[in-house]
């Protein structure tokens, strides 16, 4: 994990700080085509009434800094209690893998981060991802960060775990074929598991939830970190999988 000494004092998502730090590299033609495609999809989505939505991810940090993670996409915002909301909730509970890769990201969008009354403005990257470090003064344990955009009145909450500086034990676990059966050595089966299967059909590795839970119980306050080379798109699916199968967080 990065230490506060190795981090710049300014918020890393600040576009002014970014421009001052280095000259932007010339983008490859493929990247420019990808950006143009995303802009086209974003225009169409806005015409259909889609709004900026922040998908929060779990962050971490120390008492003096926290890493904020999330993604901004365009999504429908059904009226509470409406039939559309019920259908949306039903779809959310039965998500096939490919759906995680068809959302419309919002690049270079300003997001307001509020934590303990302090506000910071950060900017998403080309894929709509929020990945920034902000200075804080927090006690060890779980805290809540509020994320919002100027395009929507909705406020989204992201959990952040502040690690106790006195902690001497932590748990780091891989995901693929360690906590979740993905069959990576078999490419076609792995592709089916990733893109075709309903997320509720994903199988946990036998015994791993119990092992990690016992380790966490034996070391109260120990941070638990899960590593994966997968795309950010699947982070919400992975979080639901871990919670559903009783893995420690």
Q: What is the DSSP string of 224-240?
A: EEEE--S-GGGHHHHHH
What global pTM score does this model have? Answer: 0.74
174-185 pLDDT, tens digit per residue, is: 998 899 887 666
Q: Tokens 């709004």 belong to which residue?
A: 51
- Residues 152, 230, single domain; the answer is no
In this structure, the chain runs to a length of 249
In DSSP terms, 174 is beta-bridged to: 227
- Residues 154, 61, single domain; the answer is yes
Residue 8: inside a domain:
yes
- Residues 145, 216, single domain; the answer is no
Which domain CATH number covers 51? Answer: 2.60.40.10
54-111 pLDDT, tens digit per residue, is: 999 999 999 999 999 999 998 877 555 555 455 555 555 555 555 666 788 899 999 9
Residue 249: inside a domain:
no
- What is the count of structural domains for the chain? 2
Residue-range definition of the domain harbouring residue 33: 4-162
> Which uninterrupted H or E stretch holds 56?
strand 51-56
**Rounded mean pLDDT, 42-58:** 89
162, 194, 220: which is the final residue of a domain?
162
- Residues 89, 202, single domain; the answer is no
Residue 12: which pLDDT band, with cuts at 50, 70 and 90? very low
103, 134, 162: which is the final residue of a domain?
162
162, 194, 212: which is the final residue of a domain?
162
């Amino acid at each position: 994990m990065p230490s506060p000494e190795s981090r710049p004092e300014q918020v890393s998502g600040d576009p002014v700080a970014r421009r001052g730090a280095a000259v932007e590299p010339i983008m490859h033609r493929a990247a420019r085509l990808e950006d143009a495609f995303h802009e086209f999809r974003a225009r169409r989505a806005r015409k259909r009434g889609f709004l900026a939505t922040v998908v929060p991810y779990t962050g971490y940090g120390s008492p003096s800094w926290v890493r904020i993670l999330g993604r901004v996409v365009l999504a429908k915002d059904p009226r509470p209690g409406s039939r559309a909301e019920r259908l949306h909730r039903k779809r959310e509970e039965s998500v096939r893998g490919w759906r995680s890769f068809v959302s419309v990201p919002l690049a270079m969008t300003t997001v307001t981060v509020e934590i303990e009354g302090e506000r910071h403005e950060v900017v998403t990257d080309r894929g709509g991802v929020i990945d920034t470090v902000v200075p804080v003064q927090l006690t060890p344990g779980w805290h809540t960060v509020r994320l919002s955009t100027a395009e929507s009145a909705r406020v989204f909450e992201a959990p952040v775990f502040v690690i106790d500086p006195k902690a001497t034990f932590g748990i780091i676990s891989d995901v693929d074929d360690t906590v979740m059966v993905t069959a990576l050595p078999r490419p076609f089966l792995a592709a089916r598991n990733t893109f075709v299967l309903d997320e509720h059909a994903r199988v946990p590795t036998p015994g791993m939830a119990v092992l990690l839970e016992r380790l966490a119980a034996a070391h109260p306050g120990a941070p638990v970190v899960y590593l994966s080379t997968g795309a950010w798109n699947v982070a919400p699916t992975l979080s639901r999988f871990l919670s559903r199968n009783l893995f420690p967080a």
